[in-house]
Amino acid sequence: MKDKSLIKRFGAYGYVVPAMLVFAVFLFYPFFKTIYLSMYKTNKMGEAKLFVGLGNYIDLLTSKSFYNSIAVTVIFVLIVVTGSMLLGLIAAVLCNKTFPGIRFFSTAYALPMAIASSSAAMIFKIMLHPSIGIVNKLLHLDINWINDPKYALVCVAVLTAWLNSGINFLYFSAGLSNIDESIYERASVDGANEVQKFFQLTLPGLSPIMFYTLVVNIIQAFQSFGQVKVLTQGGPGESTNLIVYSIYRDAFFNFRFGSAAAQSVILFALIMCLTLVMFKVEKKGVQY
């Protein structure tokens, strides 16, 4: 009887064991290994050789290059999140009404989510080419977009915003489908125009999905890598040296795995703190 009671009490945890093993191998072990490496100087094989404690972190916090990568990343995230959410919201609102060809347009708006960032970056690179690119030809300009520090970061951010807009379109479309159409009918009877309906009915109705989308987009933007690698490789200078690309360059070009691990830990801490703050703000908003 005692064995049966133990099985009844703890048997359910057996179903969690396979999932926890997967998490342990692919999430927990790399996470703690990264923290471990961040406190060591390593050889070219990434093996810990010399314990330096917080030395790697101190070096980063006194490095102008690291602060530049943080600043560049913050600007990049602001452009990407704002642009991708606006594109997704506008597309979702446009496709919320039934009209001929709605399925075609819905598929077209959602298409960016199915395109690999590296392949999209290759096409974008051709479009922005200073001599044969379609952008310069259409605008009658002669700008070397991705090799000019003034435009390079914006170009990478615009591409990333477009790539992220597809999944945002699906999120917002799902949110719009859950808003009761009768409230729009009652608003029309009360004399509300389309602008008033959008700001007073649609946006409040989308607020839960907008918060979720905001969190996901910020995390994705902080982790952007492929388009930077293909388009600019962190240049010109360090104008597009996002923190993820800085981690990649430190680890696989400079073989400073300890410094790269320290940057990874700092990036994790930044994203976690930002996410916790957003959840705290969202909960306060709900209380009011």
Residues of the chain by 3-state class (helix, strand, coil), percent to 5: 75, 0, 20
> Interhelix angle for 64-94 vs 243-252, to 10°?
130
Q: Summarize the confidence of residues 242-271 as an average pLDDT.
A: 93
Distance (Å, whole) CA 230 – CA 148: 16
- pLDDT tens across 54-93, in order? 999 999 999 999 999 999 999 999 999 999 999 999 999 8
Q: Specify the amino acid at residue 101.
A: G
Burial class of residue 55, CB neighbours in 10 A (0-12, 13-18, 19+): middle
Q: Summarize the confidence of residues 168-173 as an average pLDDT.
A: 92
Entry pTM = 0.89
Angle (CA) 134 139 144, round 5°: 65
pLDDT of residue 159: 94
**Three-state SS at 99:** coil
Q: Specify the amino acid at residue 106.
A: S
Residue 175 contacts residue 262 (beta carbons within 8 Å): no
Element spanning 40, H or E: strand 40-42
Distance (Å, whole) CA 163 – CA 44: 35
Q: Domain limits of the chain?
A: 63-287
Q: Specify the amino acid at residue 12.
A: A
Query: At the fourth CATH level, which superfamily is domain 63-287?
Result: MetI-like (1.10.3720.10)
Is pLDDT above 70 for 3?
no
Distance (Å, whole) CA 11 – CA 14: 5
Distance (Å, whole) CA 2 – CA 6: 6
Which pair of tokens denotes residue 114?
């199915």
Which pair of tokens denotes residue 1?
């009887």
Is pLDDT above 90 for 177?
no
Q: Give the pLDDT band (50/70/90) at residue 2.
A: low
Q: Give the pLDDT band (50/70/90) at residue 13.
A: confident
